[in-house]
Amino acid sequence: MNFSLGKNQKLKKTHPTIDHGLLTIFFVLLGFGLVMVYSASSHEVFSSGSSFFYLYRHSIYIILGLIIATITVQIPLKFWQFSAPYLIVIGILLLAVVLMPGIGKKVNGAQRWLAFAGFTFQPSELMKLFIVLYASDFAVRKSGDLGDFQKGFLPMLITLGLTGSLLLVEPDLGACIVITSVAVGILFLGGLNWRFLTSLVLVSGSVFGLLIFFAPWRLARVTSFMNPLKFYFDSGYQLSHSLFAFARGDWWGVGLGRSMEKLFYLPEAHNDFILAVIGEELGFMGVTFTIALFMLLVIKGFMVGTRAAVLGQYFGSLVAHGISIWIAAQALISMGVNLGLLPTKGLTLPLLSFGGSALLVNCLAVGILFRIDWENRQMMKGVVL
């Protein structure tokens, strides 16, 4: 009798090569996003020439994203660890290039995009992933020096300062907040000296506060979100219509495709304010379903990271946790803005909103998460990587 065959079959059954739960959540988010992007944008025939314009584009982005995720799963985690210092330099250079006159594309007063072949790309989205990789590699490489200011903190502080400065010139305060939150989260998990960590949080908070206070248009957003109806015809217009959408949705919504607020009342309905459309068309239950999807995705990501730490894969552990913190932070901010809990800020819902740059980078990040999970499972089977 072949006992080795039975042992291998038992291992495969106990430790499948892929997390089917994580894969299901990933596909459900992409599919749900495709439906809601079409529902939120199907009326925009005057600006795009076709009611299917955003549906087609988003479908292309999803297909490209799935291809990118599939390729990424094949790339060993060691490659990302080796490349992290070089990728952060590339990311900073791209943030600088986008600010150059004649190269960067300006939309609604913000210069955040690079345009080519009819498509636009937002380097700040790529920088979110690069900071996850770099901060994770930094924490592992400097594990013995994280209590030393010059060796274990100053290089990271300079990197964050340079990145944040370039983002604020665009300006893109939302991306800056997400990137800083991710870096702080990874450094905390990596064991950075608590005094340095506290200083970083206090300095970052103070800088963001000053940027808001001394920028009239940012201050207007902060004051108007507390009482948007008072500023209905000015800075409170978008949030007011977002709240109207949630109010109309009630428990079960008005029905898929039947939103009134998306009909030229709610700006960026298929992008930054897609949760408001979900709330109006699918009601409280639709919003709860959306929140549950992100909670499950983040929990799965943390589980992958925890398993990697137990197996001694500290870089993979920090990357998995960093990706989870990134998705959680951006989803929380985006949802908070839609619900009037936070000042209005342009951030998409990861894997769900329309936006090629964000969706492709999100799929790349999830692909890395799947790779970490795959390497965990191989190690649990006794395979040496």
pLDDT at 236: 80
Report the C-alpha dihedral over residues 363, 80, 321, 271, rounded to 10 degrees: -30
pLDDT at 180 over 80: yes
More confident residue, 106 or 295: 295
Angstrom distances, CA of residue 2 to CA of 11, 13, 38, 105, 371: 15, 17, 55, 65, 32
φ, ψ of residue 104 to 5 degrees: the values are -75, 145
pLDDT at 15: 62
pLDDT at 11: 44
Angstrom distances, CA of residue 87 to CA of 91, 280, 313: 6, 41, 21
Lowest mean pLDDT among 53-67, 158-172, 232-246: 232-246
pLDDT in tens, 204-216: 888 878 877 777 7
Neighbours of 143 (CB within 10 A): 12
pLDDT at 49: 65
Maximum mean pLDDT: which of 151-160, 249-258, 279-288: 279-288
Percent helix / strand / coil, the chain, rounded to 5: 70, 5, 25
Closest listed residue to residue 281, CA positions, set 234, 246, 326, 327? 246
- Dist. CA 278–CA 40, nearest whole Å: 9
The mean pLDDT value of the chain amounts to 87
pLDDT grade for 193, boundaries at 50, 70 and 90 = confident
pLDDT in tens, 69-111: 999 999 999 999 999 999 999 999 999 999 888 788 877 777 8
Question: Residue 31 carries which side chain, given as an amino acid letter?
Answer: G
Residues 330 and 265: beta-carbon distance below 8 Å = no
Closest listed residue to residue 221, CA positions, set 208, 234, 203? 234
Q: Is 104 helix (H, G, I), strand (E, B) or coil?
A: strand
- Dist. CA 42–CA 382, nearest whole Å: 51
Pairs from 61-65 (Cβ < 8 Å, separation ≥ 24):
61/355, 61/356, 61/359, 61/360, 62/30, 62/33, 62/34, 62/359, 64/360, 64/363, 65/30, 65/359, 65/360, 65/362, 65/363, 65/364
Calculate what percentage of the chain has a pLDDT beyond 90: 53
pLDDT at 127: 95
Q: Which residue has the tokens 């770099």?
A: 134
For the segment 283-304, the average pLDDT, to the nearest whole number, is 97
Alpha helices in 74-97 (DSSP H): 77-97
pLDDT grade for 8, boundaries at 50, 70 and 90 = very low
pLDDT in tens, 224-274: 777 777 777 777 888 888 999 999 999 999 999 889 888 878 888 888 899
Closest listed residue to residue 318, CA positions, set 129, 190, 209? 190
pLDDT at 5 over 70: no
Question: Residue 128 carries which side chain, given as an amino acid letter?
Answer: K
Furthest C-alpha separation in the chain = 80
| DSSP summary character for residue 343 | -
For the segment 137-154, the average pLDDT, to the nearest whole number, is 83
Q: Which residue has the tokens 């943390």?
A: 302
Calculate what percentage of the chain has a pLDDT beyond 70: 94
Closest listed residue to residue 376, CA positions, set 295, 288, 311, 293? 311
pLDDT in tens, 309-348: 999 999 999 999 999 999 999 999 999 999 988 887 778 8
Q: Where are the domains of the chain?
A: 21-376
pLDDT at 282: 95
